[in-house]
Amino acid sequence: MSIDSLSVLPPRLAEILETFGLSDPQGKMELLLEFAESLLPIPEELADLAGQPELVPECMTPVTVYMHQHEGRLRFYFGVPPEAPTIRGYAAILQQGLWDVTPNEVLQIPEDLYSAMGLLHILTPQRVNGLIAILAHIKRLATQALTLPPASHPTNL
Amino acid sequence: MSENRYAYPEYLVETTWVAEHLEDPSIRLVESNEDPLLYETGHIPGAVKVDWFTTLQHPLRRDFIDQFEFETLCSRLGISNDTTVVFYGDKHNWFACYAFWLFAYYGHEHLKIMNGGRAKWVAEGRPLTRDIPTYPPTQYRAKPPDTSIRAFRDEVLRHMEQRLPLIDVRSPQEYSGELLHMPGYPQEGAQRGGHIPGAVNIPWAQAVTPENSTFKSPDELRTLFESHGITPDKEIIAYCRIGERSSLTWFVLKYLLGYPRVKNYDGSWTEWGNLVNVPIEK
């Protein structure tokens, strides 16, 4: 993904990615940690709707994704355990970068978001795959938002 | 001799012991996690970090850092040849054992694992800090690689042909070939699914008590491995996907049960499942 294609992204997400792109590896990790600490808690009314997070065996971090829909705009909330700060950081980037966007804006996000962030040099391939899975999941939710009546969709990933 | 005793208990320490040795200059605590940011959110006071991907792996080849890079690493972490290095980490000490294995590979003598790892330390309400310590550099001299604990593919093939014991420590779904990757990690892994012919499946986490991440008792561990025909009289090779999970099994067999000849095959399924013309069983 080139810097040019950042123009298809929602402005806040493009801004975050640009900041990552300009940082050295150490700076990227520091940024990711800052994001991890800024992940918003799941609002109670959404959490009440959620089932038990799906616990995947082995080392997969259980991630729960909640979508809130209001007047055609989406917000995403994530349940990620505190002992998985890398995933929390990534979730917070998506949360802030996709705050009040439309479903179509979500669907336009390129799959190789991570290469623009320069994360491939600091994260292992399997972790990047985990991040790709979260993005793919959000896109499925956005597709649902286009077809289903407005509601909150808590889902387990 | 009591049977319900670890073979080499000096390689394992409890959190209490670590808490009592935080100021001991002969000891270096090393945190090694699966999550590369977890150390930065808080770690045991005085502990340094190694990241298994960015610190321990060779930046270019699929291999570990070499002997001289290992010396540079130890010097940077303030580890000298007579330092006692105590490893701990997340995920039941999975990556702590991986780092331990690499230190053993380069001949470091005084090594320990903190039983229960990071999760137990945190659950006990013990202190964490964000202060990153620095230590004076050392003149570290690594030994040449100890290939008695590391298996390469040709050797694994011969081992298999001689029907010697192999342990596949991945999940049952990976072992059966139903999955080409760890559950939840799509597109990760190998061209082919299954396991090395003759390998028995003993998922790595069965050696650990899930509630507190500590290793199971000697009797439980012995029963676990012997019930699968894994006994100390033969050379054993353990593998998983990239050699990280199997380093925990390697630690258990070698130090907790005292099996004399155990190797970790770090090429593991991401090598074997991609090799042309090697046997696979499903």
Of B93, B118, B145, which residue sits at a domain end? B145
In a domain, B180, yes or no: yes
Residues B168 and B100 in one domain: no
Burial class of residue B255 in the structure, from the number of CB atoms within 10 Å of its CB (0-12 exposed, 13-18 middle, 19+ buried): buried
pLDDT band (50, 70, 90) for residue B1? very low
In a domain, B229, yes or no: yes
Q: What is the pLDDT of residues A99-132, one digit of tens each?
A: 999 999 999 998 777 776 777 677 777 677 777 7
Residues B153 and B248 in one domain: yes
In a domain, B79, yes or no: yes
Asked if the C-beta of B184 comes within 8 angstroms of chain A's C-beta atoms, the answer is: yes
Say if the Cβ atoms of B171 and A125 lie within 8 Å.
no
Q: State chain B's mean pLDDT as an integer.
A: 94
In angstroms, the separation between the Cα of residue B4 and the nearest Cα of chain A is 28
Among A99, A85, A70, A5, residue whose Cα is nearest residue B34:
A85
Closest residue to A84, CB basis, from B35, B119, B171: B35
Residues B124 and B25 in one domain: yes
Residues B13 and B141 in one domain: yes
User: According to the model, what pLDDT value does residue B233 have?
Assistant: 97
Say if the Cβ atoms of A87 and B38 lie within 8 Å.
no
Residues B115 and B43 in one domain: yes
- What is the domain count for chain B? 2
Segment A9-17 mean pLDDT: 91
Q: Chain-centre distance of CA B72, in angstroms?
A: 21
Q: Is the pLDDT of residue B187 over 50?
A: no
Where exactly are the structural domains of chain A? 4-156
- B240 tagged catalytic: yes
Residues B38 and B141 in one domain: yes
Of B128, B145, B162, which residue sits at a domain end? B145
Closest residue to A122, CB basis, from B40, B54, B170: B54
Q: How many CB pairs under 8 A join A and B?
A: 71
Q: What is the pLDDT of residues B203-239, one digit of tens each?
A: 999 999 999 999 999 999 999 999 999 999 999 999 9
Residues B19 and B141 in one domain: yes
In a domain, B278, yes or no: no
Could you list the residue range(s) of the whole structural domain that residue B205 is in? 148-272
- Structural tokens at position B156: 């694994």
CATH code, domain carrying B251:
3.40.250.10
CATH topology of domain A4-156: Sufe protein. Chain: A (3.90.1010)
- In the chain, the amino acid numbered A60 is M
Residues B204 and B133 in one domain: no
Residues B182 and B126 in one domain: no
Say if the Cβ atoms of A85 and B37 lie within 8 Å.
yes
To 10 degrees, what angle do helices A125-147 and A85-97 make?
40
Residues B123 and B135 in one domain: yes
Contact list, B54 vs chain A (CB under 8 Å): 25, 122
In a domain, B194, yes or no: yes
Residues B139 and B43 in one domain: yes
Closest-approach residue (CA) in chain B for A89: B37
In a domain, B232, yes or no: yes
- CA separation for the pair B3, A157 (Å, rounded): 44
User: According to the model, what pLDDT value does residue A103 have?
Assistant: 95
Provide the whole-model pTM. 0.90
Say if the Cβ atoms of A59 and B34 lie within 8 Å.
yes
In angstroms, the separation between the Cα of residue A37 and the nearest Cα of chain B is 9
Residues B217 and B229 in one domain: yes
In a domain, B4, yes or no: no
In a domain, B42, yes or no: yes
Segment B250-275 mean pLDDT: 97
Q: Cα dihedral sign for B189, B195, B197, B201?
A: positive
**Interface mutation vs chain B, best among A28, A31, A39, A59, most B CBs within 10 Å:** A59
Interface of B with A in 30-89 (CB under 8 A): 34-38, 40-41, 53-54
Q: Which DSSP category does B91 fall into?
A: G
Helix (H) or strand (E) holding B127: none
pLDDT band (50, 70, 90) for residue A63? confident
Of B145, B161, B194, which residue sits at a domain end? B145
- CA separation for the pair B236, B109 (Å, rounded): 22
